[in-house]
Amino acid sequence: MQEEQEFINHLLDPKTQNQAFQQLLQDYQRPLYNHIRNIVLNHDDADDVLQNTFIKIFQNLKNFKGESKLFSWMYRIATNEALTFLKQKSKTSGISSETLQNKTIDNLEADVFFDGNEIQIKLQKAIALLPEKQQLVFKMKYFQELKYEEISEILGTTVGGLKASYHLAVKKIEAFVSTN
Amino acid sequence: MKTFKLENEPKIETGFKTPDHYFENFSIKMMEQLPKNEPKVISIFQKRKTLIMMAAAVLILALMIPILSPSSTNTKELDAVALENYITYQSNVNQYDLISVLETEDINNIKTGIVLEDEAIEDHLSTNSNLENLILE
């Protein structure tokens, strides 16, 4: 925690800022990209959202109070950015967010940056049927293999609540894949 | 069809890929997008925006005072009542004062008013029980 505070100080000090931010990018761009990509599904959108996320992180570093870990704070920003992005996208295209998600999944098969087979597409379709919160929990737990404690700090939900959400999500996904 | 169990299956990966050297290029692109002064520029703009918004809000409020202020409308109503009371009970104005103020044209107008009401007078007189007494007198 002390190390982290030191790192944050480097990020805020104009002399060390550039180097520290480069380090931050090196450490977190991949996990944050994966997290965002799991939500928005296509590469170009993930790229946009990742840029906005790092700009937000950079601008808000001075307001970071250290109440949570830097890691979960950045994940929280990335989650909000990705969800806001999807809402705006569905609004501008005049379709519901569910329709948008299904459309994006249908486009995955033709996506050059998607290398998946039938079961992967089916899994994405099953996830799309879940409520937003269950989708997030499932993706963070199953794909990214985050710990419940980490997810709890990012989403602000109790570990018990997260376990219940994940369990429900798995049941619904298994039921969908078995019958389709 | 056999029941599908996530935990019995080998882990299903997302299948998401990125373009070659995406992350190397992303860091470079990102560092270029973060000039040192950028946050300051934004903060000044935001302050200016807030100032303009505040000025606009004050201006709108100021313009709405005469329309919306309940005290000013009340004052007007009170004035009318007070004036009436004053004329009725307090003032020295009597009918002769009023007549002296009237122009010839005003008097003519009053006359036509009376002429127009002739029929009404007739009706009134014919239904008046004292009519006979009046004629006798």
pLDDT value for A102: 84
pLDDT at B43: 62
Pick from A163-172, B13-22, B35-44: least confident: B35-44
Residue A107 falls inside a structural domain: no
**Mutation to test the B interface, candidates A16, A178, A180, most B Cβ within 10 Å:** A178
A37's enclosing H/E stretch is: helix A17-40
A78 and A125 housed in the same domain: no
* Per-residue confidence (pLDDT) for residue B42, from 0 to 100: 57
Q: Are residues A129 and A45 in the same domain?
A: no
Residue type, B100: S
pLDDT in tens, B55-84: 999 999 888 887 777 655 555 566 777 877
Does residue A39 lie in a domain region? Answer: yes
Residues A84 and A17 in one domain: yes
pLDDT over 90 at B103, yes or no: no
Report yes or no on A1 lying in a domain. Answer: yes
Residues A91 and A120 in one domain: no
The pair of structure tokens assigned to A53 is: 């996320």
**Given this model, what pLDDT does residue A133 score?**
92
> Does A79 map to a domain?
yes
> From the list A30, A54, A173, which residue is nearest B23 (CB)?
A30
Q: State the average pLDDT for chain A.
A: 90
**Mean pLDDT value across residues B95-120:** 72
Residue B114 pLDDT level (bands cut at 50, 70, 90) = low
Q: Which of A60, A95, A130 is the last residue of a domain?
A: A95
A11 lies in a domain? yes
Let me know whether A82 and A19 are in one domain. yes
Contact indicator for A76, A64 with CB cutoff of 8 Å = no
- Please tell me which residue of chain A has the smallest CA distance to B18: A113
Considering only the beta carbons, identify the residue of A55, A115, A143 that sits closest to B33: A55
Share of chain A above pLDDT 70, in %: 99
State whether residue A117 sits within 8 Å of chain B by CB: yes
What is this structure's pTM?
A: 0.66
Burial class (CB in 10 A: 0-12, 13-18, 19+), B121: exposed
Q: What is the domain-level CATH number for residue A76?
A: 1.10.1740.10
Question: Is residue A103 included in any domain, yes or no?
Answer: no
Residues A135 and A170 in one domain: yes
Where residue B132 falls (left for φ over 0; alpha for ψ -120 to 50; beta otherwise) is alpha
The CATH number of whichever domain residue A155 belongs to comes to 1.10.10.10
Higher local confidence (pLDDT), A64 or A158 = A158
A81 in the same domain as A123:
no
Q: Nearest C-alpha of chain B: how many angstroms from A92?
A: 25
In the prediction, which pLDDT does A147 show?
95
- What does the pLDDT read at residue B74? 55
Distance in angstroms (rounded) separating the CA atoms of residues B72 and B80: 13
Mean pLDDT in residue range A115-127: 88
Cβ contact B18–A54 (<8 Å): no
What pLDDT band is residue B26 in, cutting at 50, 70 and 90? very high
Q: Is B40 a residue whose pLDDT tops 60?
A: no
Q: What is the DSSP letter of B6?
A: G
Res A169 pLDDT > 90: yes
Tally the domains of chain A.
2
Give this complex's ipTM: 0.81
Q: What pLDDT shows up at residue B94?
A: 72
Residue span of the structural domain in which A150 resides? 116-180
Decide if pLDDT at A74 tops 60: yes
Q: What is the pLDDT of residue B36?
A: 59
In this structure, are A35 and A91 located in the same domain? yes
CA distance, residue B50 to nearest chain A CA (Å): 19
Q: Which residue has the higher pLDDT, A31 or B83?
A: A31
Residue A28: exposure state from Cβ atoms within 10 A (0-12, 13-18, ≥19): buried
Residue A80 within a domain:
yes
Which of A161-165, B104-108, B122-126, B130-134 holds the top average pLDDT? Answer: A161-165
The answer on A7 and A59 residing in a single domain is yes
Q: What is the pLDDT of residue B47?
A: 72
- Supply the pLDDT for residue B112: 64
Are A83 and A142 found together in one domain? no
* Average pLDDT of chain B, as a whole number: 76
Residue A27 lies in a domain: yes
B9 confidence band (pLDDT: 50, 70, 90): confident
